Structure 1
Amino acid sequence: MTVQLRAVDHDNFYQVLELKRPEDEAFVAPNVLSLAEAWLYRDTGRVDPRAIYADRDLIGFLMTYAKEGSRVLDLWRLLIPEKFVNRGYGTSALRLLIEEAAGSGSYDRIRLSYLPGNDLAEHVYQKVGFRATGEIEDGEVVMAMELDGRSTD
């Protein structure tokens, strides 16, 4: 299985909109909101919505944001539909993102946040090297990873 991060574009836009978590779960905003926010904030920094593929199959979505002039990359959203959970896709996608950010030379740190109670997200984030900062932002637990050549293994 080869996991890739690809731009959300004309070919996959509607498929990305269809990716969802269970209706009764409120941990991740719907992709329609994420893509609307990407458009809304397009002039305030670098917003990068990406489709996650495993080989040829679309299996997830992530979106990053970097404020202009900042060396911090924020992982704004990560969504893996229930049918693709526990297959290593989220871990692989995060590792790719970390490699890209570290290799770009543009960032010193990656930040993210998650709602308390989202134990699966917390586990995956810790697994790839994110650590809680002790901050709570908008009711969410903030985690970060310094990009100082640290391995994601």
Structure 2
Amino acid sequence: MLRNTVFAFGFIVAAAPAAKAHDEQALANAPAGDPYVKVSDVLPLPEFIPGLGTLFVDPATLPAGPFLAYDRDGRLSATIYMTPLDDLQSGTSFDGLNIGSHTVSSTDIYYNAGHPGVDKPHAHVVLFHDENAKDRLAE
């Protein structure tokens, strides 16, 4: 498990310089707009997931994302990647992933056993976009 977490962390650090930003102003507030869809509108998930917020994703970028996470006030708070462990272990690279904002105050990486939309065990890589974002998404 620790090996997988270290691998996922190395992956995101290596990919960070290649990450592209969308129009940050356009994504600053929900809804994200095309090509993003609200995850709860297309999958059996709640509209607001405590710890992750209200998620939007471009279906063409699944499974990795980015998933754009908005707080209850519709403010972009985090960019989340969901990278299947099987894919990482078999050598799949997720290069050039977009980010919602260039401002990142902290990053969490943790294991998830799977859920609708990303059914396989995977790593969540969460880039928080300001110091209070994690608290806002928890509520």
TM bucket, shorter chain: 0.3 to 0.5
Tell me which structure has the larger Cα radius of gyration. Answer: 1
- What TM-score does the superposition give when structure 1 sets the normalisation length? 0.31
